[in-house]
Amino acid sequence: MIGSALLASAGGAGYRRIAAELERPLSTVRRWIRAVRDPEHVEWLRAQAVLWLARVERDVLADLAPQPTRLGEALTALAAAAVTLRARVAPHVPPWTLIGQITRGRLVGRAVPAQPG
């Protein structure tokens, strides 16, 4: 569910639309999206994916398509790592489970506190 929300956000959808489509509370979806706004966390996510790809199949790195946002790039790299791991090592493991392992359960970092006002 979180991954779907982040993908939609990376594609430009707002948290209200995402919440409605996923039938989740606005506050929950907003928290998920805010939690990945930290540029350092997004870069960490991307780096984890690149590390796994480098271990399993370096050639995939050259095929990663550029994305309009850093979050999009991180999610693309994570998806590529999960698909590659699934094909080579764990064919029965769902991709989002692999992404959870790649990110050590930290797909969503610490939530950013709401801004006053």
pLDDT of residue 114: 41
Instruction: Please tell me the pTM assigned to this model.
Output: 0.81
Residue 53 lies in a domain: yes
CB-based contacts of 6-12 (< 8 A; 24+ apart in sequence):
6/32, 6/33, 6/36, 6/71, 6/75, 6/107, 6/108, 7/75, 9/33, 9/36, 9/71, 10/67, 10/69, 10/71, 10/72, 10/75, 11/72
| 70/94 same-domain check | yes
- Distance, in Å, from the CA atom of 14 to the CA atom of 5, rounded to the nearest integer, reads 10
Cα separation of 52 and 21, whole Å?
32
pLDDT, tens digit, 9 for 90 and up, residues 7-66? 898 888 999 999 999 999 999 999 998 888 788 999 999 999 999 999 988 899 888 988
The angle at the Cα of 17, spanning 12 to 23, to the nearest 5 degrees, equals: 130
31 and 7 in one domain? yes
Mean pLDDT along residues 74-89:
93
Write down the pLDDT at residue 7. Answer: 87
Q: How many domains does the chain have?
A: 2
Does residue 114 sit within a domain? no
Query: Does residue 114 sit in helix, strand or coil?
Result: coil
Residue 5 shares a structural domain with residue 45 = no
Does a structural domain hold residue 5?
yes
Return the SS3 of 57: coil
In a shared domain, residues 8 and 61: no
Residue numbers of the domain that contains 53 = 38-107
- With respect to residue 44, please indicate whether it lies within any of the assigned structural domains: yes
Per-residue pLDDT at 97 exceeds 90: yes
Q: Is the pLDDT of residue 96 over 80?
A: yes
- 15 and 43 belong to one structural domain: no
Identify which has the larger pLDDT, 114 or 40: 40
| One domain for residues 61 and 76 | yes
